[in-house]
Structure 1
Amino acid sequence: MKLHQLQALVASAETGSIRAAARSLGISQAAVTRALRELEATEQLPLLIRAPEGISFTEYGKALLTHARLVLNQLEHAQNELARLRGRAEGRLSVGVTPWITLTFLPETVLLFRKRMPDIQLELFESLMAVAQPLLRAGDMDFVIGQLHPSAVTQEFSCEPVLNYETAVMVREGHPRQDCRSIHDLLDQDWALNFAPDGQDALIDYLFTRHGAQIDTRRIVRAHSLGTLQTLVDRTDMCTWCPTILTAAAPFKGHLAIVALREAFEPRQLGIVTRRNSTLSGAASCFIECLLQVIRQHARSAKKEDLVLFDTLTLLF
């Protein structure tokens, strides 16, 4: 495989046609067509389905496309790193951030990072794993500050632990079931939950099955953003399950109530999630250093608001 062939493949996927791919790459349509045909000939597999309305990809093409995007993203990171070493810190850094980190430690982290690397174009995603995991897999995100299901750690991702955090079942303040004492008393309620595409079974086991409870999965609404989840809990009386720290952070403070259940939920682990065997850029390493510095400062603080935060957090670094 050659680099220009992978570039043609990715550009065709992103633009939807060979003509548009040629325009985006600044080369002729014939050059794109030739690169794609050479790639198919080399691999001896059909990669594209050509039709008057545009192109689509075969199963083989889709599989190669995932790896091609990773290769091109990694090459961009290498170029950015060399530019940094030459004294020109340029490029883009894309980070997924779990919402409760956004509400607590992220603002100071961003200010510190911008001070150290002002020429880096920073892109932040709300990294509920349902959104972040596919972007990380495709190489469109450098790393995620979030919670990774253990089964994924040994496969395509790795996770460097940062801290443990407590979680709880929650409802809006004043919810009719706010005083329930067992998960069994909430099985007839609708739930708004977030989970990665392959994480529903594990979450249902964690919240219900291991406690001897069976829930009709049709009662579960999968929320892809914290805003959607918050709105559903506020306005539809849905139950949810979240980090306990959210009850102390705006805009949730005074709006979410913890349901004090008999069932115990062991702490979850937050870490720096990366693609296995990938290399972090200098900008990515700098951002992580800034985050850890900010968390450390708050952990050592005697301020009342910081003491409240670290009632439910345990540092692992």
Structure 2
Amino acid sequence: MKLQQLQALIALADGGGIRAAARMLGLSQAAVSKALRELEADQQLPLLQRHASGARLTEPGQALLTHARQISTQIERARDEMDALRGRHDARLCIGVTPWLARTLLPEVVLQFRQRLPSIRLELFEALQAVALPRLRDGQMDCAIGPLPGDLSNQEFHWQPLFSHACQVIARHGHPALRAQSLAELLEQDWVVNYSPASYRQVLNALFARHGLNIAPERLVCAQSVALLAGLVQAGMLSYGPEPLLLCPDFAGKAQALPLRERLEDITIGVIGRQGRVHGYAASCFIACLQQTLRQRMRSARPEDRALARMLTLRF
């Protein structure tokens, strides 16, 4: 399997035919046809269905196309990164970051990273599952820093643990529910949580079902940003999420955890990447900056850092 053959497959899928693929690649139609025939012979599978108006990919062709796009993107990233290290032009690093981390440690991590690799063009997303996972799958995002969703296949993603923390039920200061001692007393409250369609059952199980409880689905409002979540908590809704969220500017001094008798689950945060895709030099550097910042904060005597250190257990 050669890169030129995979590029021909991508161009055919994008252009819809041999002629358009040849034009996109700057090759002759004969060269593109030969590359695709050799690819089919190598795989011993029919990858194309040829017809009078062009060609389309078969099911095996579509399966190979997914890998071809990832390989092509990875090679382009490698070339960009090497050029950046030679000082020729900017390379791009795209990383998703779990929201509470973005509002606490991220600025320090980014400043360290910029000192080490100033020529890298950095793009950051809040690593909500609905945003990060599609970008990881198609190669647009290099890696994401967040919890590993329980419904992800180990064959699809690899995961490098960084630290763990507890999850808590959260309410604004002065909320009547602060007197509650059990989750069973909170089933008639309105809740705001973050989840994707795939993680909805996972959230329900973590918060209610594992304690033998059920809540009416309409009681749960889904918020796809921390700002939305914080606003609805201040409006009187309860929330459930990572304990360090209470240190973020949106919540610090405005909300607190409920001292419930149920033991809520701990979450491990790690680096999520595509299986079989090695972190590039820039991504590895960013991860190292995050690890260094975590170690520094865990040793710091500042009150805010000591509060964070009490919430985190390092896993590296």
| TM-score interval for Structure 1 and Structure 2 normalised by the shorter chain | 0.7 to 0.9
Which residue pairs with 2:6 in the alignment? Answer: 3
Alpha-carbon distance in 2 for matches of 1:221, 1:44: 48
Alpha-carbon shift at residue 64 of structure 1 (Å): 5.0
Contact 1:40 1:47 (C-alpha < 8 Å) held by counterparts: no
- Count of aligned residue pairs for this structure pair: 308
Which residue pairs with 1:295 in the alignment? Answer: 294
When residues 63 and 192 of structure 1 are mapped into structure 2, their CA distance, relative to the original with a 3 A threshold, is farther
- AA at the equivalent of 1:297: Q
- AA at the equivalent of 2:281: G
- AA at the equivalent of 1:225: S
Alpha-carbon distance in 2 for matches of 1:61, 1:224: 36
Residue segments in structure 2 that go unaligned for 5+ positions in a row: none
Alpha-carbon shift at residue 62 of structure 1 (Å): 6.3
Residue segments in structure 1 that go unaligned for 5+ positions in a row: none
Alpha-carbon shift at residue 147 of structure 1 (Å): 0.7
When residues 46 and 191 of structure 1 are mapped into structure 2, their CA distance, relative to the original with a 3 A threshold, is farther
Contact 1:131 1:196 (C-alpha < 8 Å) held by counterparts: no
Name the TM-score, length of structure 1 as normaliser.
0.81
When residues 251 and 222 of structure 1 are mapped into structure 2, their CA distance, relative to the original with a 3 A threshold, is closer
When residues 210 and 96 of structure 1 are mapped into structure 2, their CA distance, relative to the original with a 3 A threshold, is same
Show the 5 A alignment for 1:130-279: 130-152=130-152, 154-235=154-235, 237-279=236-278
- AA at the equivalent of 1:8: A
Identity of aligned residues (%): 42
- DSSP-derived class of the 1:263 partner: coil
Alpha-carbon shift at residue 142 of structure 1 (Å): 0.4
Alignment deviations for residues 111-141 of structure 1 (CA, whole Å, 9 cap, x no partner):
1111111111100000122321221122111
Q: CA RMSD in A?
A: 3.7
Name the TM-score, length of structure 2 as normaliser.
0.82
When residues 10 and 184 of structure 1 are mapped into structure 2, their CA distance, relative to the original with a 3 A threshold, is farther
Contact 1:129 1:147 (C-alpha < 8 Å) held by counterparts: no
Alpha-carbon distance in 2 for matches of 1:302, 1:66: 49
Alpha-carbon shift at residue 67 of structure 1 (Å): 3.0
Deviates more, 1:253-262 or 1:114-123: 253-262
Contact 1:5 1:39 (C-alpha < 8 Å) held by counterparts: no
Alignment deviations for residues 15-57 of structure 1 (CA, whole Å, 9 cap, x no partner):
xx99xx98x95869x99x989x989988646789xx9xxxx99
Contact 1:89 1:119 (C-alpha < 8 Å) held by counterparts: yes
Alpha-carbon distance in 2 for matches of 1:205, 1:78: 41
Alpha-carbon distance in 2 for matches of 1:47, 1:234: 58
Which structure's CA Rg is the greater one? 2
Alpha-carbon distance in 1 for matches of 2:107, 2:13: 34
Alpha-carbon shift at residue 171 of structure 1 (Å): 2.2
Alignment deviations for residues 259-296 of structure 1 (CA, whole Å, 9 cap, x no partner):
22111113210111111111111111111111111111
Alignment deviations for residues 162-193 of structure 1 (CA, whole Å, 9 cap, x no partner):
11112101122333323222111222233222
- DSSP-derived class of the 1:67 partner: helix
- The answer to whether structure 1 residue 315 and structure 2 residue 314 are counterparts is yes
Deviates more, 1:88-97 or 1:286-295: 88-97
Alpha-carbon shift at residue 152 of structure 1 (Å): 2.4
Which residue pairs with 2:79 in the alignment? Answer: 79
Show the 5 A alignment for 1:60-139: 63=63, 66-84=66-84, 86=86, 88=88, 90-139=90-139
Deviates more, 1:288-297 or 1:59-68: 59-68
- AA at the equivalent of 1:73: T
